[in-house]
Amino acid sequence: MRFGKRWGMRLPNARDLPYPVFYLGRWWWRGGWYPDYDVRLFKRDRATWGGSDPHEKILVDGKVRHLQHPLHHFSYRNIEDHVQRIDRFTSISSRELRKEGKHWHLADALFRPAFRFFHSYVLKRGFMEGFAGFYVAVTAAIYVFLKYAKLWELELEEKDDIDRKRS
C-alpha cells in the first residue's frame, strides 16, 4: 500500500523545485534567474514532455506542489560557455519559431530585446548585482535579438531556395 493512500492523503502528481543558478562566482537571486521552478519529481502516468525546443518541460495532468529546498544549478562554466550556448539555443529557437509558422518582423528584433533587458535589469533587479547583473541582462537581450535575427536569416534562405527553383 502506498503512503498517501494508507493515510488518506491526496498526493500531488508532481513536485517542482526552485533552482538557484551559480554563475560568475555567485548565486543569482535577482535578474530573472530565481526563483525558477522546474518539475523534477512526477508520476510517470500523469506527465508528458512538452514545450518547444530547446526549452522542453514536463507537462503534468493535475496538481503540482512546490518543494522548499532548492536544487543547485551550475548553468555555465564561464562566459565562453554561456555565449556558445546562446548561439546554439538561438539557432534551435529560431528554427522552432519557423516550424510554428512564425515570421520575422522588425518590431520583434527592435523591441523584444530592449524589453528583455529592461525586465532582467530593472524589473527583476539585476542592477543590484553590479556589473555581473548588467552582463546577464545584456546577454538575455542578445539572446532574444539573435533568435529573431536568425529567424530573419531562415526566411532569407527560404526565399533564396524558392528563387533558385524558379530559375
In the chain, what percentage of residues exceed pLDDT 70?
88
pLDDT value at residue 94: 96
Residue 87, classed as helix, strand or coil, is helix
Phi and psi torsions of 138, nearest 5°: -65, -45
pLDDT higher than 90, residue 70? no
Give the confidence band of 1 by pLDDT, cuts at 50, 70, 90. Answer: very low
Beta-strand pair 37-42/47-52: unpaired
Query: In the prediction, which pLDDT does 115 show?
Result: 98
Confidence of residue 51 (pLDDT cuts 50, 70, 90): low
Which triple of cell numbers denotes residue 103? Answer: 515570421
Alpha carbon 163 to its chain's center: 35
Calculate the CA 6 to chain-centre distance.
39
- Higher pLDDT: 94 or 69? It is 94
Q: Judge contact between 155 and 94, C-beta under 8 A.
A: no
- The Cα–Cα gap between 141 and 38 comes to 23
Q: Decide: 155 and 162 in contact? Cβ < 8 Å.
A: no
Q: Which residues of 28-43 are buried (b: 16+ CB within 10 A; e: fewer)?
A: bebbbbbeebebeebe
pLDDT score for 75: 87
pLDDT over 80 (residue 146)? yes
